[in-house]
């Protein structure tokens, strides 16, 4: 759950980093020259998540039948979508709600016997 907690856009540095990412995403949609760097950073982030899933599988913490690539793709997409909603003030989407969504996802996708 440490990875999840590190991604929550609370007040301070993490929130500022999320705000920068939002601006970068917006620029990359209209300025193609930004896309290669964006894609490289994003690939690194997904690779980090994938390695964490694989390590959890090796340690017996996560289900071995879960595809680490698919889980990383889905978890990063869910994290980004929820963070955007938190940062833009969508009613009902709080940091607590975001954390709960991510914890439930991880539990359902990775914890043995959770399905």
Q: Phi-psi category of 94—alpha, beta or left, where left has phi over 0 and alpha has psi -120 to 50?
A: beta
Q: Where are the domains of the chain?
A: 2-110
Q: What angle do CA 26, 46, 83 make, to 5 degrees?
A: 45
CATH architecture of the domain 2-110 equals Orthogonal Bundle (1.10)
pTM of the model: 0.89
Identify which of 54, 43, 107, 29 has the alpha carbon closest to the alpha carbon of residue 76: 43
Distance CA 87, CA 74 (A): 20
pLDDT of the chain, 115 residues: tens digit per residue: 788 998 899 888 888 999 999 999 999 999 999 999 999 999 999 999 999 999 999 999 999 999 999 999 999 999 999 999 999 999 999 999 999 999 999 999 999 766 5
pLDDT of residue 88: 94
Give Cα 65 to chain centroid, integer Å. 21
pLDDT of residue 11: 81
């Amino acid at each position: 759950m440490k990875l999840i907690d590190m991604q929550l856009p609370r007040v301070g540095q993490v929130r500022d980093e999320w705000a920068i990412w939002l601006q970068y995403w917006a620029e990359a949609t209209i300025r193609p020259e930004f896309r290669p760097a964006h894609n490289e950073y994003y690939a690194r982030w997904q690779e980090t998540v994938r390695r964490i899933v694989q390590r959890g599988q090796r340690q017996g913490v996560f289900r071995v039948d879960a595809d680490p690539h698919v889980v990383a793709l889905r978890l990063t997409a869910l994290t980004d979508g929820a963070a955007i909603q938190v940062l833009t003030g969508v009613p009902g989407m709080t940091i607590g709600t975001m954390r709960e969504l991510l914890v439930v996802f991880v539990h359902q996708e990775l914890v043995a016997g959770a399905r």
